[in-house]
Amino acid sequence: MTDINYDIDKTENEYIHFEGDTLSELKEFLYSDSVFKDCCGYITYVNSNANMKADLAIAVLNGYGVYLGFCDEEHVYLSVADRLKLCNVLDVWGDGLYVSEGLFISPQLAWKGICEFVKTGKWCKEIEWIMPEDLPDEGNYIC
C-alpha cells in the first residue's frame, strides 16, 4: 500500500497537512496557470509493501523557481540549475530558511520531478541533482 502525505506551508506560519494519492489534488494545491504558488514544505511517500519511505522537500520562490530536495534512507539529492549561483543564498520565507539560489529549477521541470516522486517515491532522472557535500561552504539547502 502506498501513502502520500503533504505538509506544505503557503502562509507565513502555518503548515497544512493533508493526505492524498492523486496528482490532480496536489497540482490544484501547488500549481495553477503554469505558476507555482509560493510555498515551502514536504511531500512524503510511504510504500509499506516495499518497506520504502522517502521525502521530497519543496520550496518555491517566485522569480527564482522551485527547489527540490530528495531524501530516503540511502540518498540525499538536491535539484540544481546553476552551479555558479550555489554560493548565493536566498531567504525563502523571510525567517532564516536559506536555500542556495543555484538549486532552484524551472517550475515545469520541478512539476515533472514531483509527479515522478508521487508515482514512484524516486527522484526524477530528467533533473540534474547534486549531493549536499557538493555545495560550497556558503551554500545551504533544506531536506
pLDDT at residue number 80: 98
pLDDT at residue number 15: 57
Residue 9 carries which side chain, given as an amino acid letter?
D
121 Cβ contact partners less than 8 Å away, ≥ 6 residues apart: 2, 45, 47, 52, 53, 54, 72
pLDDT tens string 66-92:
999 999 999 999 999 999 999 999 988
CA pair distance 120, 109, nearest whole angstrom: 17
Delimit the domains of the chain by residue range. Answer: 2-134
HEC string for 7-44? EEECCCCCEEEEECCCHHHHHHHHEECCEECCEEEEEE
Locate 84 and state its grid cell. Answer: 555558479
pLDDT tens string 112-125:
999 899 888 999 99
pLDDT tens string 16-56:
555 655 677 777 667 666 677 777 888 888 887 778 889 99
pLDDT, greater one: 130 or 8: 130
Prediction pTM value = 0.86
The predicted model gives 98-110 an average pLDDT of 94
